[in-house]
Amino acid sequence: MNENIFKEPITRKTIFLFLGLMTVMLCFQSFYFYNMINKIQNQEIKNYESIIGTLVKIAPEKQYEIGQALFENKQKDTLNLGKSLLEQYGYMEDMYLLNNKISGNIYINFLHKIIIVSVVTMILFIALAIFSYKSIFKKLEEISYSLKKVVEGDCSISLKDNKEGIMCKIAHEFNIMVTRTKSTLENLDKEKEKTKALVNDISHQLKTPLSSLELFNTLLMEENLEENERMEFLEKSKYEINNLQWLVKALIKVSRLETGMIDIKPDYNDIKNTLLEAINSIYGKALEKNLNIKADNLFSYKINHDKRWTKEALVNILENALKYTKETGYINISMEKSEMYIKINIKDSGIGIDKQELNKIFNRFYRGKNEIVQSTEGSGIGLYLAKWIIEQEGGTIRTKSTLGIGTTFSIIIFT
């Protein structure tokens, strides 16, 4: 703490000014005391001169004895004689200082000078303190003003922090706070836009099945409806209800992931086991559709990934291939390894994707314009979730497709 105090520019400046002021005052006092002592000495010499002159004038023949009496060792009898004589004129050893005209005048003059010097010193110290604290208060006012601007939403403001001292440290921390606040506000704006887009997407997705259910319900309420027609509308209603259930489950999953309620927690797991679990999840449906699933070049390799959610992403891509591949078609799954990543290729012999739609298939709720896609059950969330999960793990998904021939999804997970 003490070391930090002496690193403060204002502390160093104050100390230097204080030392400078003390040096000036000491020099002044030394000069003044020297002059005062010199004045006392001169006055003493004048007194001796007056005494010697008077005595010599009275008794010229005793000049030598007078000089010896003044400057040589004093005899006790002469001291007592001089003392009794001075007492007659009011000069005594214990007399009050101010009663002595000579020393009293010198003392009063000295006292006046000391008072003046003390007052001047006090004024200078007060001025020094005001100067020192003024710069501190100025910096605090600047910080206070900047904080007020940030509270008002202005995150473009910054403080100078290129010097030493606690104030510059505060300014540096303030700038970091402003940067983080700005980033947080930007993220909040992005989240607001995402939420707005999600609400719009949900309302759009729910509008069609709800309208269909409303229509079917109205028709079913008609009394003259044939039984076969009633059963047809009931089947259609069931289909729309299933779509709604699928959509709601998908929406819950998306919202939980995007809002951070579910964390992607990568760990070193065998990617081959994760892939095999994903294949087993759709294998039964593939057999029902008489599809040939072939897994080549699968190898064990521990890589940093969240086993549960990576499986979810792989299942979504495999189910997408399963939906849009005709009976007796195939889905080939293979793995590749490089120094920097593991690549999982999922290739199908499905309907393919138009080049203009390749950049859109990973958008939330997007479904292709192909009639087969429109007539097939789905929510347009599976591929979006797959891409989101893989990217959260630091990976990426690449797609190649040819209409009428098939599509290849390449999932790249970096090592």
| Stated pTM of the model | 0.53
On the question of pLDDT at 386 being above 60, the answer is yes
pLDDT in tens, 267-293: 999 999 999 999 999 998 898 889 999
Mean pLDDT of 251-257: 75
Which of 326, 339, 260, 256 lies closest to 292, judged by CA? 326
pLDDT in tens, 78-118: 667 766 766 666 655 555 555 556 666 766 777 777 788 77
Domain ranges of the chain: 2-151, 264-414
Q: 3-class DSSP state for residue 93?
A: coil
Provide the pLDDT for residue 205.
Answer: 66
Mean predicted lDDT score pLDDT of the chain:
79
Which pLDDT band holds residue 54 (cuts at 50, 70, 90)?
Answer: confident
The CA distance from 291 to 293, in Å, is 6
C-alpha of 90 from chain center: 83
Provide the pLDDT for residue 35.
Answer: 79
Mean pLDDT of 212-240: 78
Greater pLDDT, 96 or 252: 252
The CA distance from 359 to 367, in Å, is 12
Mean pLDDT of 116-122: 80
Which of 355, 357, 291, 358 lies closest to 318, judged by CA? 291
Which pLDDT band holds residue 150 (cuts at 50, 70, 90)?
Answer: confident
Fold of 264-414: Heat Shock Protein 90 (3.30.565)
On the question of pLDDT at 337 being above 80, the answer is yes
- Percent of all residues in the chain with a pLDDT value above 90, rounded to a whole number: 22
Phi and psi angles of residue 255, each rounded to the nearest 5 degrees, phi first: -65, -40
On the question of pLDDT at 1 being above 50, the answer is no
The torsion angle over the Cα atoms of residues 216, 217, 221 and 222, rounded to 10 degrees, is -20
